[in-house]
């Protein structure tokens, strides 16, 4: 039997047709599908404007650049995330300050964020770990008195709400990823959302090499009709029309994707409720998560063993994530293990069970049975001579 993955895309014949239509047309990159995708996405963000970019890492790089992050600035990041939340700011010369996560949601702890914020803090980045929103109101309160911007890395949480407000409208700037395991996919893709028009304008410009095409903003507008100029450096992080067409088609299925994920989460919650040796993900009363991961905690130091047993049984469990400050690139800069104990002890227990819209009930039952069997199995000891 093939290994069940921990996450995978769902691509329909409508998606294939939407892409093929663009391929038969005149424009493969920047064209009407980009504007259309951005407008469709903005319907999900409670009015925040969106800029499509080439992936979620690019979205973070664009967002930090648009926020004005430069050498000497500090950026506060929780360690329980994918490395890109931190590395994209480090590339701009920022000093990353890791702040620990909360015990239940494993999102940025507002008290830890407050303690980590200084006069040099340019951005505080929250991550909606597993699809559960961070506590944005508490983070705002924790940041009062600081000029720092609040960033939401919403790679896991498009479609989620916090106290009834949609992800995308909760922070000064929000980033999305459309990698195949995420809620919707464009193969590679991402977006930046912001209610701040100036920040969004800077984001669009950074995404497009920094080119200034608006005549009224140019230093030498009379150069000629061909003229474009660069005032600040940028990169080519554009998402092509071909992929934006896929994104628009995927967005039409997002409600169904999220509904199926919620159904699978409810089935896991029920089936695993009485299982000894694990803890299940917690949902706060103020959040309506969009579950991207189903992160359980394997107790009694058995995570490595259960990971191995599940893999051998053909269940592609995953671990999300190694604490970011443990990566050698941060260790070499002097970051130490032990500095974020909540994230670090969570990491030692964490295991993501398969969760994706096309996971069948029967395959989910296989996961549930395999987990029960793995936990009942007692590690074999060498026989004493
Ligand atoms: C996936 C992910 C990213 C990066 O997105 P890519 O599209 O893979 O570059 C960033 N942050 C988090 C939390 C992610 O899960």
Closest CA to 237 of 210, 212, 214, 218: 210
Q: Ligand 1, from 151, 152, 155: best to mutate by most atoms within 8 Å of Cβ?
A: 155
Query: How many angstroms is it from 177 CA to the middle of ligand 1?
Result: 6
Give the nearest ligand 1 atom to 81 CA: 13
Domain check: are 303 and 221 in the same one? Answer: no
pLDDT in tens, 318-332: 999 999 999 999 999
pLDDT in tens, 60-85: 999 999 999 999 999 999 999 999 99
pLDDT in tens, 137-190: 999 999 999 999 999 999 999 999 999 999 999 999 999 999 999 999 999 999
Length of the chain, please?
A: 385
pLDDT attached to residue 2: 83
Domain that residue 297 falls in: 254-376
Domain check: are 199 and 291 in the same one? Answer: no
pLDDT band at 384 (very low <50, low <70, confident <90, very high): low
Burial grade of 271 (CB within 10 A; 0-12, 13-18, 19 or more)? middle
Whose alpha carbon is nearest atom 4 of ligand 1?
56
Domain check: are 106 and 219 in the same one? Answer: yes
Q: Ligand 1, from 177, 188, 190: best to mutate by most atoms within 8 Å of Cβ?
A: 177
Query: How many angstroms is it from 8 CA to the middle of ligand 1?
Result: 14
Query: How many angstroms is it from 61 CA to the middle of ligand 1?
Result: 11
5 assigned to some structural domain: no
Query: How many angstroms is it from 256 CA to the middle of ligand 1?
Result: 22
Query: How many angstroms is it from 341 CA to the middle of ligand 1?
Result: 23
**1-5, 55-59, 204-208, 214-218: segment of lowest average pLDDT:** 1-5
Query: How many angstroms is it from 325 CA to the middle of ligand 1?
Result: 17
Q: Give the contacts of 10 (CB within 8 A, at least 6 positions apart).
A: 253, 257, 356, 357, 358
Give the nearest ligand 1 atom to 58 CA: 9
274 assigned to some structural domain: yes
Q: Are 113 and 99 in contact (CB under 8 A)?
A: yes
Domain check: are 234 and 246 in the same one? Answer: yes
Q: Ligand 1, from 58, 61, 83, 84: best to mutate by most atoms within 8 Å of Cβ?
A: 84
Give the nearest ligand 1 atom to 156 CA: 15
Give the nearest ligand 1 atom to 60 CA: 10
pLDDT in tens, 180-191: 999 999 999 999
pLDDT attached to residue 361: 98
pLDDT attached to residue 56: 98
How many Cβ atoms from other residues are within 10 Å of residue 252's Cβ?
14
Domain harbouring 332, CATH code: 3.90.1150.10
In order of 184, 211, 275, 296, the CA distances from 272 in angstroms are 27, 54, 5, 10
230 assigned to some structural domain: yes
Give the nearest ligand 1 atom to 190 CA: 7
284 assigned to some structural domain: yes
pLDDT in tens, 339-366: 999 999 999 999 999 999 999 999 999 9
Domain check: are 148 and 242 in the same one? Answer: yes
2 assigned to some structural domain: no
Closest CA to 224 of 233, 213, 232: 213
Q: Could you say which of 212, 234, 251 is where a domain stops?
A: 251
Which residues have any ligand 1 atom within 6 Å of their CB? 55-57, 81-82, 84-85, 127, 153, 155-156, 177, 179, 190
Domain check: are 44 and 145 in the same one? Answer: yes
Query: How many angstroms is it from 10 CA to the middle of ligand 1?
Result: 18
Domain check: are 322 and 234 in the same one? Answer: no
Cα–Cα distance between 341 and 338 in angstroms, integer? 6
Domain check: are 98 and 214 in the same one? Answer: yes
pLDDT attached to residue 278: 98
Query: How many angstroms is it from 85 CA to the middle of ligand 1?
Result: 8
3 assigned to some structural domain: no
Give the nearest ligand 1 atom to 177 CA: 7
What angle separates helix 254-272 from helix 361-376, to the nearest 10 degrees?
30
Cis amide bond preceding 324, omega within 30: no
Domain check: are 78 and 91 in the same one? Answer: yes
How many structural domains does the chain have?
2
pLDDT attached to residue 385: 45
176 assigned to some structural domain: yes
Closest CA to 275 of 353, 181, 343: 353
Element containing residue 115 per DSSP (H, E) = helix 110-116
Domain check: are 308 and 207 in the same one? Answer: no
Domain harbouring 161, CATH code: 3.40.640.10
Domain check: are 297 and 213 in the same one? Answer: no
Give the nearest ligand 1 atom to 181 CA: 1
pLDDT attached to residue 381: 59
Domain check: are 313 and 360 in the same one? Answer: yes
Q: Could you say which of 194, 216, 251 is where a domain stops?
A: 251
350 assigned to some structural domain: yes
Q: Could you say which of 221, 251, 281 is where a domain stops?
A: 251
């Amino acid at each position: 039997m093939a290994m069940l993955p921990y996450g995978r895309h769902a691509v329909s014949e409508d998606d294939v047709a939407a892409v093929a239509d663009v391929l038969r047309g005149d424009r493969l990159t920047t064209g009407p599908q980009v504007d259309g995708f951005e407008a469709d996405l903005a319907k999900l963000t409670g009015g925040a404007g969106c800029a499509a970019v080439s992936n979620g890492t690019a979205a973070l790089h664009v967002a930090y650049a648009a926020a004005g992050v430069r050498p000497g600035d500090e950026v506060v990041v929780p360690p329980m995330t994918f490395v890109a939340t931190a590395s994209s700011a480090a590339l701009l010369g920022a000093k990353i300050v890791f702040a620990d996560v909360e015990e239940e949601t494993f999102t940025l702890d507002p008290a830890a964020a407050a303690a980590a914020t200084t006069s040099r803090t340019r951005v505080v980045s929250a991550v909606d770990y597993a699809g559960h929103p961070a506590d944005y109101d508490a983070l705002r309160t924790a940041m009062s008195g600081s000029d720092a911007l609040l960033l939401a890395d919403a790679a896991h949480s498009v479609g989620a709400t916090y106290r009834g407000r949609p992800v995308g409208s909760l922070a000064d700037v929000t980033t999305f990823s459309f990698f195949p395991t995420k809620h919707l996919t464009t193969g590679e893709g991402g977006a930046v959302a912001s209610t701040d028009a100036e920040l969004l304008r800077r984001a669009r410009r950074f995404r497009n090499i920094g080119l200034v095409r608006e005549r009224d903003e140019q230093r030498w507008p009379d150069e000629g009709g061909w003229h474009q100029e660069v005032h600040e450096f940028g990169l080519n992080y554009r998402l092509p029309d071909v992929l934006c067409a896929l994104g628009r088609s995927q967005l039409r299925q997002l409600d169904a994707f999220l509904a199926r994920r919620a159904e699978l989460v409810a089935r896991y919650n029920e089936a695993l409720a009485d299982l000894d040796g694990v803890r299940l993900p917690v949902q706060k009363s103020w959040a309506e998560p969009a579950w991207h991961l189903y992160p359980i905690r394997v107790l009694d130091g058995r995570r490595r063993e259960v990971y191995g047993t599940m893999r051998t049984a053909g269940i592609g469990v995953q671990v999300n994530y190694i604490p970011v400050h443990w990566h050698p690139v941060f260790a070499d800069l002097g970051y130490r293990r032990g500095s974020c104990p909540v994230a670090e002890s969570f990491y030692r227990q964490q295991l993501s069970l398969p969760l994706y819209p096309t996971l069948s009930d029967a395959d989910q039952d296989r996961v549930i049975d395999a987990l029960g069997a793995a936990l009942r199995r007692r590690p074999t000891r060498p026989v004493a001579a």
